[in-house]
Structure 1
Amino acid sequence: MTGPVKTRIVGHVLEVTLDRPKANAVDLATSRIMGEVFRDFRDNPDLRVAILTGAGEKFFCPGWDLKAANDGDAVDGDYGVGGFGGLQELPHMNKPVICAVNGICFGGGLEIALSCDIILAAEHASFALPEIRSGTVADAASIKLPKRIPYHIAMEMLFTGRWLDAEEAHRWGFVNHIHKADELMAEAWKMAELLASGPPLVFAAIKEVVREAEGEKFQDTMNKVTRRQLRTVDTLYGSEDNLEGFRAFTEKRDPVWKGR
């Protein structure tokens, strides 16, 4: 794919690269493309894992393109099927998404990263939520970040806009692993291939259960699981893969997952 969003497929893995020089900022058109890419990934049974990264070595993504906004892109415009960046409001996204943060990641770029399931960072990556200095609110980050890291650290980031380097981001827990810049994508692919070899129906059930549990009491979500009221859980419990897991364990062999 040409344009601001590049894609590459190898086996069951989709690589998505945000490529808008100079900084990979996202305008409305780019956000809509990203939404279409991730919707198609979600709906393609042959694809099991996605990797999201940025082009170049300096920027992952600074979020909203202020130049485009100045030229007429409305902040409350049509971001596309997945909301800003294509991921954070995409319904039924039940496949793992890995974010490989290859550089500066702030504002809406950090919100996009937080919409992924696993975040890997290059050693030189840095993170911030500077919206406070522009007189606006980092809305998605205000919802997500206090649930991911200690409340007081999240509020300091939101209130002050201060920067965190990769080491501190890792220490507070919203970065899984740090890698050398020239090893980041190889490590992201290694993680993706590990997940792609796993049971896709189980991953789907995990993601739906986690989403449901965010806004409910523990027992309410447990009741939905045990009563098979969640679509992915019901699909899993009646699947060939569910039986394959039991058979492989009994036969002392590796399971062969078919996603059905």
Structure 2
Amino acid sequence: MSEQNETTATGESDPRELIIETRDHVRIFTVNRPERMNAFTPDLQRQLSHEFIEAEHDGDVRVIVLTGTGDRAFSSGMDMKVRKEADDAGKPFRYKMATPYRYLLEVILETNKPVIAALNGSAVAGGFETALACDLRVACEHAKLGLPEAKRGMGAHFSTIMLPRIIPRAWALEMLFGGEYITAEKAHQYGLLNRVVPKGEALNAAMEIAINIASNAPVTVRRMKETATKSSGMPIVSALRLNEGLNPYLSEDRKEGVRAYIEKREPQWQGR
């Protein structure tokens, strides 16, 4: 692997709450609030949205990995302590679709580069939804996953829409209505997880996948991501007519891929 370039995020949130590093064209975001089970504050959500957008426009970044510190939780979602303090202070709850800022889950979902969630621990509530917004998910075997919103009077709006598109509807609704957690093994059986790995190995497994993806033609991978996202729910005849972003067949990378194959060497991608 190349030398790690480790920095910390800047902005409104505590810079120590989000660790950022880049390895081999892979941008890694680590939520660093283990004492609060890596729960999100509004400022941290805004900061993470900003960093995803920055990574999307960074030509050196080809894949994004999102993980958390420790082995207890990937994320427990919204920081309920912060929310209670806001409720006690009489501050209204602003639904994420009705704020001046972009919705973090939309930002992740619409990022035109592959995003992998490395579930170092449990992913519940908004933490589960954050993982659901990613394209691929790897989890440690001890992790629990679930949506307790029905037990908290919350909404799980994103999961209500997305989960039945990813796993069979009956299983999705059982998770939503029941609010119970499932094991990583069951989540893998449902098709929610790409891999289940031993405790402490989620990031390594995610990086193995990420580096493999990053070795492929960026234009092609980006086109696949955008088409898969934007065609979701569309009739096939309409989806086949989508022509978003740079066409791989018209790219310099396509020419380089052909040359490298004929010359029996590794391609040197330009991302254009």
Tell me how many residue pairs correspond in the alignment.
252
Q: How does 1:143-162 map to 2 (within 5 A)?
A: 143-162=161-180
Alignment of 1:1-260 (within 5 A): 1=8, 2-20=15-33, 21-72=35-86, 74-76=92-94, 81-83=101-103, 86-89=104-107, 92-224=110-242, 229-233=243-247, 236-260=248-272
Change in Cα spacing, 1:16 to 1:74, as seen in structure 2 (3 Å) is farther
Give ranges in structure 1 of 5+ residues lacking alignment: none
Structure 1 residues 158-180: Cα deviation after superposition (integer angstroms, max 9, x where no partner): 00111100000000001000111
Superposed CA RMSD: 1.8
Which runs of no fewer than 5 residues in structure 2 stay unpaired?
A: 1-7, 9-14
TM-score, L = length of structure 1: 0.91
- Structure 1 runs (4+) deviating above 6 angstroms are none
Change (3 A) 1:212 1:25: same
Identity percentage over the alignment?
34
Q: 1:136 to 1:184 in 2, by over 3 A?
A: closer
Q: Deviations over 1:66-122 (max 9, x none)?
A: 111122275426677541xx3433585111111000111111101100111110000
SS in 2 for 1:182: coil
Q: TM-score, length-normalised on structure 2?
A: 0.87
The CA distance in 1 between the partners of 2:110 and 2:57, in whole Å, is 10
Q: How many Å separate the matches in 2 of 1:117 and 1:42?
A: 14
Residues 203-233 of structure 1 deviation map (CA, whole Å, 9 limit, x = unaligned): 1100111122113111112123xxxx32233
CA separation in 2, counterparts of 1:256 and 1:87?
A: 33
Report the Cα distance in structure 2 between the residues aligned to 1:213 and 1:43, rounded to whole angstroms: 22
Which letter maps to 1:37? E
| Paired letter, 1:7 | I
Structure 1 74/120 Cα, relative in aligned 2: closer, same or farther at 3 Å? farther
